[in-house]
Amino acid sequence: MAQAVVHPNIALVKYWGKRDQDLNLPSTGSVSMTVSTFETRTRVMFGVPDDLAVLNGRTARPDEAVRIFEHLDRVVPGRRPAQVVSDNNFPSAAGLASSSSAFAALTVAAADAAGLEFTPRALSALARQGSGSASRSIWGGFVEWQRGSLIDGSDSHGVQIAPASHWDLRLVVAVVDSGRKPIGSRAGMNRTMATSPMYAAWVASYMADVKQARQGILDRDLEAVGDAMERSTLKMFSTMLTSVPPVRYWKPASLALQDAVYRLRDQGVPVWWTMDAGPNVKALTTPEHADTVRAAFEGGCEAVHVLGVGGPPRLEP
A 10 A CB-CB count for 181 gives 17
Subset of 9-28 contacting ligand PMV (CB under 6 A): 11, 14-16
Burial of 245 (0-12, 13-18, 19+ CB in 10 A): exposed
Could you say which DSSP state residue 249 is in? -
Q: Which stretch binds ligand PMV (CB under 6 A): 128-136, 190-198, 253-261, 280-288?
A: 128-136
Residue 277 as a binder of ligand PMV (CB under 6 A): the answer is yes
Least distance CB 268 / ligand PMV (angstroms):
29
- Residue 102's Cβ-count burial label (10 Å; 0-12, 13-18, 19+) is buried
Of 106-114, 115-123, 126-134, 285-293: span binding ligand PMV (CB under 6 A): 126-134
* 3, 27, 30, 101: residue in contact with ligand PMV (rule CB under 6 A): 30
| Helix spans in the chain (H) | 62-75, 98-113, 120-130, 185-195, 199-219, 222-241, 252-266, 290-297
> Could you say whether residue 130 binds ligand PMV (CB under 6 A)?
no
Count H helices and E strands in the chain, helices first: 8, 16
CB of 289 to ligand PMV, least distance (A): 24
Member of 34, 100, 178, 285 binding ligand PMV (CB under 6 A): 100
Q: Is 249 a binder of ligand PMV (CB under 6 A)?
A: no
- Asked whether position 132 contacts ligand PMV by CB under 6 A, the answer is yes
What is the rounded distance in angstroms from the CA atom of residue 155 to the CA atom of residue 145? 10
Q: Pick from 124, 185, 212, 285: which binds ligand PMV (CB under 6 A)?
A: 185
β-partners of residue 106 are none
Q: Which is nearer to ligand PMV, 31 or 82 (CB)?
A: 31
Q: Are 217 and 162 within 8 A, CB to CB?
A: yes
The one segment of 8-16, 84-92, 253-261, 288-296 that binds ligand PMV by CB under 6 A: 8-16
Question: Can you say whether the dihedral through the CA atoms of 193, 198, 204, 206 is positive or negative?
Answer: negative
Site residues, ligand PMV (CB under 6 A): 11, 14-16, 30, 99-100, 131-133, 185-186, 276-277
